[in-house]
Structure 1
């Protein structure tokens, strides 16, 4: 293979590798965002359940 073709092939492979790394990084960021959103939902539900339990305890201890 002539050096020019080999260089072009290597450039193409490098470009593809860089694109794969970029996509993987974006997927990781997307997962972190989803995890944060789920954590917020979990905290909201915890607060709601705590409040409901406190109300239940007040009603049933009187």
Structure 2
């Protein structure tokens, strides 16, 4: 199935989860994740199933002042 992570296409097997997508993308903590615009708690990553066309946004914290 095709999904999008941070505006980049990614092909995953059917039945993939948010955790699978993050691993395939190479995401490194710390980060927050939104699935189709809705925050997904870290504890839900392994159980949250993806569907074709889903959009994941990975946001890394930025420090500054």
TM-score under structure 1 normalisation?
Answer: 0.20
Work out which structure has the larger RCO, using CA pairs closer than 8 Å and 6 or more positions apart in sequence: 2
TM-score under structure 2 normalisation?
Answer: 0.19
